[in-house]
Chains A and B, each alone.
Chain A
Amino acid sequence: MSTSMPSLTRRRMLTIIAATGAASLLPWTGRAATAYEATEWRGYALGADARLLLHGRSRADAERAIAVSMAEIERLENEFSLYRANSSLCRLNRDGMLPRPSADMTALLRLGCRFGDLSHGAFDISVQPLWQLYAAHFALPNADPAGPSEDKIKETLARVDYRRIRIDDDAIRLAPGMALTLNGIAQGYITDRVADILRDQGWSHILVDLGETRALDSHPSGRPWRIGLKGGPSAAVAPTLDIADRAVATSARRGFIFDAAGRHCHLLDPASGHAAQGFASVTVVARRAADADALSTALSIMPPAQAASLAQRLKDSEIWVGVDNGSIAHL
């Protein structure tokens, strides 16, 4: 259960991801050179560094937009966070049932299941019991570096299958022993919601970066937004991506690691019950951040060959993968 988890907070986990492998923005330097009024807000949201770049309207408008964004993040964290004991997700995991789920919850669960189908089960929002098994195992002082026993893994995997989640408008029901995690997708969803709300309030040419990055339109100067990719174990700056009206998400094996030896990363493969052995990192450029977020996770877990074949089928997305030697390739 989420409350009995080891002292791993999401903040720490995501901070590590952000520090070691995630896409990050190039320093944004256009402000001094151009005439538009710009507001940059940096803060902390979803347990990670967050940034909003707004343009073209008054400061008061921008402050209001930031307030609206923060309220939306707060609201959705109360839905999806595993780290708030009373979030809807925690209540669902605790009770096995969530009556009167919000539309956001049903939508995101359905989306999660769709990516499960797309990735042939590699992306599974019900992988939480396995994650808990690993977390509990490595929280012990003399943890076996080989990881939990095969028996325990096998027993746990019996409770992992997103297809056994019953999603109805009036209630969500889990099979006994199941638990869900939305960590592979919620951040992207929240990023989309914030971007859409700002768009509906008349904002354009803005960048929302809440761990996953979503650009509305192009950069206000007219050029695309430029995103620097970091990949692999080295911190060397890899190629940059030019995006407009797109979202970017990166998933890296080293984003969080259970053990000191680095053998067990957080990307657990529900097929084997072990840490994924695929690409070292996957960056997805997609129309929406939720898609990018889920796809980057799914493609990291899938064996490279399968991942490559899925990537061929995704028409609306661009995929960059980092391999263990630190190089980054377009898939």
Chain B
Amino acid sequence: MRSYLHCIQAGRLGGKHGGAWLAAIWIVAATLFLPAMAQPPGPVPPLQGGLLTTIFPGAIQASAMTGSPPAAEVQVEGGFGGYIFSTWSVIHSTGYSGAPIDILVGLSRDGRITGAVLRQHTEPILVIGISDADLKAFVAQFSGLSIRGKISRKAGEAAGRLPDAISGATVSSAVIGDAILTSARLVAESRRLFEAAPTVAPEIPEVKSWQDFIASGAIGHLRLSRGEVAARRGEKLDHDEEEDEHEDDPFIDLYAGVVTPHAIGSPMIGAQTYNRLRAEMAAGDQLFAILANGLYSYKGTRYVRSGVFDRISLVQGALTIPFTRDRYVLIENLAFPDGDIPEFREIGLFILPADSGFDGSLPWRLDLRVDADDANPVVFSLAHTPQASSAIKPAPEPAAEPAPAQTTPTRQPQIPSQPQAHTTVQPPPPPAQIQAEAQLPTAISIEPLWKRAWTTSVPEIIFLTLMLTTLTGILLFQDFIVRKTHAYLIARNIFLAVTLVWLGYIAGGQLSVVNVLTFVHALRQDFRWEYFLVSPIIFILWGYVAVAMLFWGRGVYCGWLCPFGAMQELLNEAARRLKVPQIRVPFGLHERLWPIKYVIFLGLFAISLYSMELAVIASEVEPFKTAIVLKFVRGWPFLFYVVAILVAGLFIERFFCRYFCPLGAALAIPSRLHMFDWLKRRRQCGAECSICAQHCTVQAVHPNGAINPNECVQCLKCQTLYYDDHTCPPLIASRKRAEKLRASGSLIAEKLSEGKK
């Protein structure tokens, strides 16, 4: 008690010093465990009984998970029925937070998903929206989906359509869907479930760096200097000395190859993008990557209008495979986890359809047209023989078999033949379809999830920015604004109503202690801004709160931007008007109840270090999810809890904020660093008068008159009183003095009174 008082005063006089050690503890606690281990899912439980038949209806028994990627063979009546695998074992699937996510999936021998069971997840966003049951139900909806064909994300397409994403958890839904489909495809390919499936070299070592990528044997390289191109064109470079230097400049430095295998593609473009792509690709489709630097663009610009990349084509034997925009995926950066990643001017991925006849294990050639606009282009070719697979498959048989060298003509004359299965690359689509495809605005969109989230929520972002600007204005000009007491209080109630209705219910902007825990958790494991950028509203709010916290303390959030806080305050306001008696907690008790929220927060933090899942469950201490996110649509125990809190709040204003809110506690600790103490006090405060203390929303005013910044919610009510010469006793006294003197007509007294003001 004594020491606490000491703290308060220290905070008031020099918050930076007093708060420093607390903040330091907070930061140390957050970063101490930086290299902590992730929590990979434990071994898969024995596949039997209800679990087995849920994943694979009709299964009699399942073997242990073996092979690469690991999968259990499932026996049904009548023999072999399919496979069961764990997405974690197959692709190390991770969720939105970067923490492991594991789903057990059954895959029948004809390529249907028989069932899927969510085994482990730590999706923090779920806390803010969706119950575990919702998520499990979403996962279960994948059963019946065939992975043989292309899977569409577009709504309204019946065949091969993904289940609808859980609203409010679209990112988690997408990540889960991609994990299920990508692992299913990889298992199907490795077990050669479909004939169309490409040859997959088993056990390709995981590519970790650019060097590994080049050494993988999948990638071919072609470097053309300006001089070489000029020579092929039949030109001579101008032999100025200056030009000579440029003769060796790369005209183009080109890398290309098949990156379909998980071990190559996933590290190259990042697991999330890879999974997204693989989830959409049909069995047997191949991913072909082309990377380039130099003066010349292999993409050119004409494809934008024509839909066909005119400068490049892929050739295999007698096959020509054009690159088209509708199968083109723009990749901005390479994602190799280790080593230096060279920068490329152009990175493109192309999905080669299974029916193109392309075989990734056979030699291929990439033709590059220089001066493609010209009538007689110069063509260079990058020829490559995949090495990893050439050891496995016999030497390629080209379409036209070679005659032995040094022989006289032995080849049969080529008789105009029947259309050969391999000679037509793709049955040409009817003209109408081409027209339709030419209308396609872009290629398959693989922009990061967070970018999409930002571009689709521009109106919300603008409105939130307006809100925050208004709030900043109120805080900056508080000294003037609070003097219009009545107008200010109305404005504040309007702001709170907007916070509750728009920010809370419409925009989904309720922060939670889970955000804090996730942030710390991510710092310890695999921190990526992407995880936090996924929700623009939450991200902007946190950014603002972080800055506001340093300026004014945690109250800016609690008192203005927390929808649940707003709900409590508005309800209490209504209760007061209805003459509901208010309970004034004796300060001694009040002060002793404060620490509860800190204990709750530290408890949650400790739990989160042990298990994020458990911490997420324990965070139900916060009523936010029930009251704001789920809009009270929830089971009765949760409703009972929230209603109890709200009813308590009718008698004790901001009951939950005062004593229990772990988010408030989490914000209060670093708020000790705040720079400004703009809340004005008089020397009479506490000693002669305690009106502010009685009116304070959260009883943050100490009996000695000091405002405890840890508890203050920046409602500025004390400031309205501070300037109110009908309430604040020192002001009343001086006003009365002035009135008396004015009544007596004393000019001197009037000056005196002005001086006081």
Which A residues have a C-beta under 8 Å from some C-beta of B?
9, 11, 39-45, 47, 49, 59, 62-64, 66-68, 70-75, 77-79, 81, 83-86, 91, 97-100, 102-104, 106-107, 110-111, 113-114, 168-171, 193, 196-197, 200-201, 287-288, 290-291, 316
Residues of A within 8 A of B431 (CB): 97, 99, 171
Contact of B405 among A66, A72, A168, A200 (CB under 8 A): A66
A11 & B413 in contact (Cβ 8 Å cutoff): yes
Interface residues of B in 283-326 (CB under 8 A from A): 302-303, 305-308, 310-313, 315, 317-320, 322, 324
The tally of CB-CB contacts under 8 A between chains A and B is 158
Give the distance to chain A from B688, nearest Cβ to Cβ, in Å: 87
Chain A residue with minimal CB distance to B310?
A169
A47 & B401 in contact (Cβ 8 Å cutoff): no
Contact of A86 among B365, B423, B426, B429 (CB under 8 A): B423
A78 & B423 in contact (Cβ 8 Å cutoff): yes
Residues of B within 8 A of A110 (CB): 374-376
Asked if B428 CB lies within 8 Å of chain A CBs, one says: yes
A171 & B434 in contact (Cβ 8 Å cutoff): yes
Q: How far is the CA of A72 from the CA of B402 in the complex (A)?
A: 12
A200 & B318 in contact (Cβ 8 Å cutoff): no
Asked if B750 CB lies within 8 Å of chain A CBs, one says: no
Interface locus among B377-385, B531-539, B547-555: B377-385
Chain A residue with minimal CB distance to B404?
A63
Chain A residue with minimal CB distance to B397?
A67
Q: Show 6 residue pairs from A and B whose CB-CB distance is below 8 angstroms, ordered by the A residue.
A: A11-B413, A11-B414, A100-B429, A103-B311, A169-B307, A197-B383
Residues of A within 8 A of B378 (CB): 196
A68 & B398 in contact (Cβ 8 Å cutoff): yes
Give the distance to chain B from A78, nearest Cβ to Cβ, in Å: 5
B428 & A44 in contact (Cβ 8 Å cutoff): no
A196 & B405 in contact (Cβ 8 Å cutoff): no
Give the distance to chain B from A34, nearest Cβ to Cβ, in Å: 16
* Among all A-B residue pairs, the 5 with the closest Cβ atoms: A169-B306, A70-B400, A86-B419, A67-B402, A75-B318
Q: Which of B302, B315, B322, B377 has the most chain A CB atoms closer than 10 A to its own CB?
A: B315
Contact of A45 among B302, B375, B414, B416 (CB under 8 A): B414
Contact of B369 among A100, A107, A168 (CB under 8 A): A107
A85 & B416 in contact (Cβ 8 Å cutoff): yes
Chain A residue with minimal CB distance to B313?
A103
A196 & B380 in contact (Cβ 8 Å cutoff): yes
B376 & A201 in contact (Cβ 8 Å cutoff): no
Residues of A within 8 A of B731 (CB): none
Q: How far is the CA of A80 from the CA of B680 in the complex (A)?
A: 89
Residues of B within 8 A of A97 (CB): 431
Q: How far is the CA of A197 from the CA of B367 in the complex (A)?
A: 9
Contact of A40 among B377, B406, B428 (CB under 8 A): B406
Asked if B239 CB lies within 8 Å of chain A CBs, one says: no
| A197 and B381 in contact, given A41-B403, A70-B398 (Cβ under 8 angstroms) | yes
Residues of A within 8 A of B409 (CB): 42-44, 49
Q: How far is the CA of A200 from the CA of B416 in the complex (A)?
A: 30
Residues of B within 8 A of A103 (CB): 308, 310-313, 322, 367, 369, 372
Residues of B within 8 A of A193 (CB): 379
Q: How far is the CA of A200 from the CA of B379 in the complex (A)?
A: 10
Give the distance to chain A from B314, nearest Cβ to Cβ, in Å: 11
Asked if B411 CB lies within 8 Å of chain A CBs, one says: yes
A99 & B310 in contact (Cβ 8 Å cutoff): no
Residues of B within 8 A of A107 (CB): 369, 372, 375-377
B402 & A63 in contact (Cβ 8 Å cutoff): yes
B403 & A75 in contact (Cβ 8 Å cutoff): no
B426 & A71 in contact (Cβ 8 Å cutoff): no
| A290 and B307 in contact, given A39-B405, A170-B434 (Cβ under 8 angstroms) | no
Residues of A within 8 A of B399 (CB): 70-71, 74-75
Chain A residue with minimal CB distance to B377?
A107
A200 & B381 in contact (Cβ 8 Å cutoff): yes
Which B residues have a C-beta under 8 Å from some C-beta of A?
222, 232, 234, 302-303, 305-308, 310-313, 315, 317-320, 322, 324, 365, 367, 369, 372, 374-383, 398-414, 416-417, 419, 423-424, 426, 428-429, 431, 434, 438
Residues of B within 8 A of A78 (CB): 318, 423-424
List 5 other contacts, CB 8 Å, given A70-B402, A100-B324, A200-B222.
A67-B402, A102-B313, A103-B372, A110-B376, A114-B375
Residues of A within 8 A of B424 (CB): 78, 86
Q: How far is the CA of A2 from the CA of B409 in the complex (A)?
A: 28
Chain A residue with minimal CB distance to B379?
A196
B408 & A47 in contact (Cβ 8 Å cutoff): no
Contact of A84 among B324, B410, B417 (CB under 8 A): B417
Give the distance to chain B from A73, nearest Cβ to Cβ, in Å: 7
Contact of B414 among A42, A75, A77, A201 (CB under 8 A): A77
Chain A residue with minimal CB distance to B367?
A103
Q: How far is the CA of A128 from the CA of B5 in the complex (A)?
A: 102
Q: How far is the CA of A291 from the CA of B318 in the complex (A)?
A: 24
Give the distance to chain B from A79, nearest Cβ to Cβ, in Å: 7
Give the distance to chain B from A37, nearest Cβ to Cβ, in Å: 11
Give the distance to chain A from B553, nearest Cβ to Cβ, in Å: 62
A100 & B308 in contact (Cβ 8 Å cutoff): yes
B414 & A47 in contact (Cβ 8 Å cutoff): yes
Residues of A within 8 A of B313 (CB): 102-104
Chain A residue with minimal CB distance to B319?
A75
Q: How far is the CA of A97 from the CA of B403 in the complex (A)?
A: 36
B411 & A43 in contact (Cβ 8 Å cutoff): yes
Residues of B within 8 A of A290 (CB): 376
Q: How far is the CA of A245 from the CA of B426 in the complex (A)?
A: 37
Give the distance to chain A from B424, nearest Cβ to Cβ, in Å: 7
Q: How far is the CA of A91 from the CA of B375 in the complex (A)?
A: 22
Q: How far is the CA of A193 from the CA of B403 in the complex (A)?
A: 20
Residues of B within 8 A of A45 (CB): 411, 414
Q: Which of B312, B398, B402 has the most chain A CB atoms closer than 10 A to its own CB?
A: B402
Residues of A within 8 A of B311 (CB): 103
Q: Which of A41, A63, A97, A98 has the most chain B CB atoms closer than 10 A to its own CB?
A: A41
Residues of B within 8 A of A39 (CB): 405-406
Give the distance to chain B from A99, nearest Cβ to Cβ, in Å: 5
B410 & A169 in contact (Cβ 8 Å cutoff): no
| A201 and B310 in contact, given A73-B400, A107-B369 (Cβ under 8 angstroms) | no
Residues of A within 8 A of B406 (CB): 39-41
B410 & A200 in contact (Cβ 8 Å cutoff): no
Chain B residue with minimal CB distance to A95?
B428
| A287 and B416 in contact, given A113-B375, A168-B306 (Cβ under 8 angstroms) | no
Give the distance to chain A from B417, nearest Cβ to Cβ, in Å: 7
B416 & A83 in contact (Cβ 8 Å cutoff): yes
Give the distance to chain B from A108, nearest Cβ to Cβ, in Å: 9
Give the distance to chain B from A67, nearest Cβ to Cβ, in Å: 4
Contact of A111 among B317, B319, B375 (CB under 8 A): B375
Residues of A within 8 A of B374 (CB): 110
Give the distance to chain B from A65, nearest Cβ to Cβ, in Å: 9
| A67 and B405 in contact, given A170-B438, A193-B379, A291-B376 (Cβ under 8 angstroms) | no
A63 & B317 in contact (Cβ 8 Å cutoff): no
Q: How far is the CA of A40 from the CA of B374 in the complex (A)?
A: 35
B434 & A71 in contact (Cβ 8 Å cutoff): no
B376 & A104 in contact (Cβ 8 Å cutoff): no
Residues of B within 8 A of A168 (CB): 306
Q: How far is the CA of A73 from the CA of B303 in the complex (A)?
A: 27
Give the distance to chain A from B665, nearest Cβ to Cβ, in Å: 63
Give the distance to chain B from A186, nearest Cβ to Cβ, in Å: 13
| A44 and B414 in contact, given A102-B313, A107-B375, A107-B377 (Cβ under 8 angstroms) | yes
Residues of B within 8 A of A169 (CB): 302-303, 305-308, 310
Chain A residue with minimal CB distance to B363?
A68
Contact of A104 among B317, B320, B324, B383 (CB under 8 A): B320
Contact of A196 among B381, B411, B429 (CB under 8 A): B381
Chain B residue with minimal CB distance to A117?
B375
| A84 and B416 in contact, given A78-B318, A100-B426 (Cβ under 8 angstroms) | yes
Q: How far is the CA of A306 from the CA of B255 in the complex (A)?
A: 48
Residues of B within 8 A of A316 (CB): 234
Chain B residue with minimal CB distance to A102?
B320
